[in-house]
């Protein structure tokens, strides 16, 4: 699931990929790049690489010269070499890591140093150190967490882009206070698997420079959506 509320106007135009294998090499990348780009300037193109579970860095470096708006990645493992290739991508598209379930601090630092826009909602059991590294990006960031510790809250507060979170359990009051002071212009707690307590809402509302919207999402199940934006 793509959890982040994607900030764009226009039409999405997917660049289909139908590989015979799950490895993306340079030859495949060249073939993909030759497919026609959207004719209309307002169209946002998606490069769908979700069928490729691994790739040659050279393939990413070749594709990185193309102006894609969104890149859906099927990588199941991220190496430092691949992370650096992704970090070099021109114009920093929105990277959606659809099948990446583990991310360590080192690779997180490589990605965040580039200011990349990252949807890492599939990654499980992120450590506090990894969250702290990811918070250094000034791009859009989407994470899925069990909850947020006070240390994580302090790290995420320093994030300077749009932040979107899926949470199983609401954070403590102290961690929520840190989130309320998130330096970016938008904070979405997109999926909270329990009704937020009054204390949680009160903590998020403590920053008078921001406005908070809260609603239940009846269509997608029994979870709640909280939006915190600068007033």
pLDDT tens for 18-66 read 555 789 999 999 998 887 765 565 566 889 999 999 999 999 999 988 8
Q: Can you give the pLDDT at residue 221? A: 58
pTM: 0.84
Give the separation between CA 74 and CA 126, rounded to whole angstroms: 19
Average pLDDT, the chain: 85
Q: Can you give the pLDDT at residue 224? A: 77
Q: Can you give the pLDDT at residue 214? A: 77
Is residue 93 in some structural domain? yes
Residue pointed to by tokens 């393939």? 59
Q: Can you give the pLDDT at residue 33? A: 86
Q: Which residue intervals of the chain are DSSP H helices?
A: 26-33, 57-63, 80-87, 105-113, 128-134, 150-157, 173-180, 198-204
Is residue 219 in some structural domain? yes
16 burial level (CB within 10 Å; 0-12, 13-18, 19+):
exposed
Q: Can you give the pLDDT at residue 11? A: 41
The answer to whether residue 2 scores a pLDDT higher than 50 is no
The neighbouring-strand residues paired with 118 are 95, 141
Pair 92, 68: CB distance under 8 Å: no
Is residue 5 in some structural domain? no
Phi-psi bin for 91: left (phi > 0), alpha (psi -120 to 50), beta?
Answer: left
Q: Can you give the pLDDT at residue 92? A: 80
Percent of the chain with pLDDT over 90: 54
Q: Can you give the pLDDT at residue 9? A: 39
Q: What is the pLDDT of residues 142-177, one digit of tens each?
A: 999 999 999 999 999 999 999 999 999 999 999 999
Is residue 4 in some structural domain? no
Is residue 2 in some structural domain? no
Quote the number of domains for the chain.
1
Helices 105-113, 80-87: axis angle to 10 degrees equals 10
Give the separation between CA 189 and CA 153, rounded to whole angstroms: 13
127 phi and psi, to 5 degrees?
-80, 160
User: Hey, how many other C-beta atoms are within 10 angstroms of the C-beta on 107?
Assistant: 23
Domain that holds residue 134: 12-230
Pair 89, 71: CB distance under 8 Å: yes
Is residue 3 in some structural domain? no
> Of 36-40, 64-68, 84-88, 186-190, which gets the smallest average pLDDT?
36-40
Q: What is the pLDDT of residues 120-141, one digit of tens each?
A: 999 999 999 999 999 999 999 9
Is residue 6 in some structural domain? no
* Beta-sheet strand order (sheet of 210-217): 12-15, 44-49, 70-73, 94-97, 117-120, 141-145, 163-167, 186-192, 223-230, 210-217
Is residue 7 in some structural domain? no
Q: Can you give the pLDDT at residue 187? A: 87
Give the separation between CA 191 and CA 194, rounded to whole angstroms: 9
The answer to whether residue 16 scores a pLDDT higher than 90 is no
Find all residues with CB under 8 Å of 42, minimum gap 6, and list them. Answer: 9, 10, 11
Closest C-alpha to 104, from 77, 86, 85: 77
E-state strands within the chain: 12-15, 23-24, 44-49, 54-55, 70-73, 94-97, 117-120, 141-145, 163-167, 186-192, 210-217, 223-230
Q: Can you give the pLDDT at residue 17? A: 53
> Taking residues 201-209, what's their average pLDDT?
85
């Amino acid at each position: 699931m793509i959890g982040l509320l994607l900030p764009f106007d226009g039409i999405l135009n997917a660049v289909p990929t139908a590989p015979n294998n799950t490895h993306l090499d340079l030859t495949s990348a060249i073939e993909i790049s030759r497919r026609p780009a959207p004719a209309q300037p307002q169209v946002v193109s998606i490069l769908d690489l979700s069928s490729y579970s691994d790739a040659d860095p050279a393939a990413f470096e070749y594709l990185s010269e193309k102006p894609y708006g969104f890149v859906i990645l099927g990588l199941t493992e991220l190496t430092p070499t691949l992370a650096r290739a992704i970090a070099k991508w021109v114009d920093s598209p929105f990277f959606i890591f659809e099948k990446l379930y583990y991310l360590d601090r080192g690779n997180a630092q490589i990605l965040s140093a580039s200011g990349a826009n990252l949807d890492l909602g599939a990654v499980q059991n992120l450590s506090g150190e990894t969250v702290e590294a990811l918070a250094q990006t000034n791009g859009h960031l989407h994470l899925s967490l069990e909850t947020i510790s006070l240390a994580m809250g302090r790290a995420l507060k320093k994030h300077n882009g749009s932040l979107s979170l899926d949470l199983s359990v609401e954070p403590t009051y102290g961690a929520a206070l840190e989130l309320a002071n998130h330096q970016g212009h938008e904070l979405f707690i997109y999926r909270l698997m329990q009704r937020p307590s009054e204390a949680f809402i009160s903590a998020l509302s403590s920053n008078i420079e921001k406005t908070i919207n809260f609603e239940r999402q009846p269509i997608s199940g029994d979870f709640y959506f909280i939006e915190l934006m600068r007033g």
